Structure 1
Amino acid sequence: MTRTIPLLHPLDDHGRLPRRPLDETSRLPQDVREAADALAAAAAKPQLSPAADIARYCHPHYLRAEPTAFGTVTFYFRAFTGRESRPEMPREAWDVPALTWEQKRELDSQYTVAQSLWSQGRLRIQAAPVLRRAAPLWQAWTTAQSELREAFEVFRHTSDGMWRAQLLRLTDAERAALDAARAWDAVAEELSLLAAEQRRDAGEEHELELETVARELGLDASDWVIHWPDDYTPRSYSWPHQTPLVRALTAEIEQQRERLMEVARLAGDHETTPV
């Protein structure tokens, strides 16, 4: 009996099995094929030049960068004291051809954060002595303001014969309050300028509040009146110039005097009218 064996491939024209192509890998083990594919893919990728490493351009305080869940990057640095030089991205980094635009943007962002942290350290150093000097001046102002208001309120219970004596006490309280207001506005302007400089270097999103720095020093600055720097600058169209607290106090004094003059007119007593 004749036996037959089925062929996997048809015979060629000469009755022979065809040869398999030399580069065919379909019968190689799967892990070998995958390794070969990975090597081929790696060889096909362009390799970065060693010059593309950005480490040499990072700030000396830079530690690492980590992506966040929101698609941003958090940069970590060693603590800044504020006594270091202002962080500035090296100019030559922009001209390195091997650095990609993304790498340059990353460096720029890194130095922006570094500058913010540095500016906060610098504000702590610069503002600390001014804040300590400001604390007793604010206390002196609040005391003088209270004494002025008390001197005015006494008129409600002052007999007619004592008005002139009480007017003298009121004018003394006015002068003391004005001196205290001028002293406060002077130190407040210093603090305002320091805060504005830090805000300009760090941006509003990284602003360090003076109240925070004061609290770190054990001071309560929550009710201190500190205006923008421009409010302390004389303007050509505003004469005479008055600083913010002096301006507010002057308005209060004028209101008190108008009230006293109104009462004097109604009483027909012009001799006790304040000047």
Structure 2
Amino acid sequence: MVHTIPLKTPLDDTGLPHRDTQTSQAAAAPADASRYHHPHFVDARPTGSGTAYRFTAFSGYESRPEMPAGAYDDAAMTWELRDQLHDQYTAARVLWSQACLRLQAAPLLHKAAPLWSAWTAARNELVVTFAQFWSTGDGLWRAQLLRLTDAERAAREAAGAFDVVARGLAQAVADQVDVAGWDEALELTTVAGELGYDASD
């Protein structure tokens, strides 16, 4: 049989917070991920398609942005905060990879521009030299063959010189795509345009 004992003073009048009140106050305190933000992070704003993250400019000399390991072990971090932090570092890596491409490609593009001009001139000379066979007299074919051989050698050397620089440019582009993915790939023609080069060819 259950007995009820009346109390002269209610237990809640002690002035001590009730256990449920302590729990709710702790739960009400918002979790904060700011200590894990990337040093270049400025802010994040919601957009129609997700969240736009803003950062101060990357130079390309920084270390690759990676989410701090402590964020995974921090009990105060919620799943939502970790997800947002992950997205922030993904956005940071995209901008960092683009800065790296600009940094690596600039000196290569400065070398590539005159080499490309030399190659196109040598190729045009080769085409013209070959076309002259149609108007070369019978007694001049040997001289024309020598001119064609010289033009072919010059075109091959010019192409080889350009290819050396082009391999470096291709590697820089591949490195950027490896980090950012094809959807966030920075076009090499865009980088060249920023330096004042028309790289459409």
Aligned equivalents of 2:172 and 2:150: distance in 1?
34
The question of 1:221 aligning with 2:170 is answered no
TM-score, structure 2 length as denominator? 0.85
Equivalent position to 1:58, from 9, 14, 37: 37
Alpha-carbon shift at residue 67 of structure 1 (Å):
1.0
CA contact (8 A) 1:130 1:190 kept: yes
Letter of the structure 2 residue corresponding to residue 146 of structure 1: N
CA RMSD of aligned residues (A): 1.9
Q: Deviations over 1:5-52 (max 9, x none)?
A: xxxxxxxxxxxxxxxxxxxxxxxxxxxxxxxxxxxxx99956448683
Tell me whether 1:202 sits opposite 2:180 in the alignment: yes
Q: Pick closer, same or farther for the CA change 1:119–1:74 going to 2, 3 Å.
A: same
1:192 and 1:133 map into 2 onto residues whose CA distance is: 14
Structure index of larger Rg: 1
User: Share of identical aligned residues, percent?
Assistant: 54
Counterpart residue number, 1:88: 66
More helix by share: 2
Shift of 1:220: 1.0
Runs of at least 4 residues off by over 4 Å? 42-46
C-alpha distance in structure 1 between counterparts of 2:177 and 2:70, whole Å: 27
Please name the residue that 2:82 is paired with.
104
Q: Secondary structure at the match of 2:45?
A: strand
Deviation at 1:217, TM superposition (A): 0.7
Pick closer, same or farther for the CA change 1:114–1:124 going to 2, 3 Å: same
**Distance across 1 between alignment mates of 2:35 and 2:29:** 11
Q: Deviations over 1:205-252 (max 9, x none)?
A: 1111111111111111110xxxxxxxxxxxxxxxxxxxxxxxxxxxxx
Distance (Å, rounded) in 2 between the aligned partners of 1:91 and 1:77: 21
Aligned length: 181
Checking the alignment, whether the CA contact within 8 Å between 1:148 and 1:174 is kept in structure 2 is yes
Q: Any gaps of 5 or more consecutive residues in structure 2?
A: 1-20
Does the aligned pair in 2 maintain the 1:134–1:188 contact within 8 Å? yes
Equivalents in 1 of 2:23, 2:69: separation in Å? 33
Counterparts of 1:165-244 in structure 2 under 5 Å? 165-223=143-201
- Map of 2:93 onto structure 1: 115
Give the gaps of 5 or more residues in structure 1.
1-41, 224-275
Give the alignment's TM-score, normalised by structure 1: 0.63
Match of residue 69 from structure 1: 48
User: Counterpart in 1 of 2:130?
Assistant: 152
Q: Contact 1:151–1:169 at 8 Å: present in 2 too? A: yes
Structure number with greater CO (CA < 8 Å, separation at least 6) is: 2
Deviation at 1:136, TM superposition (A): 0.5
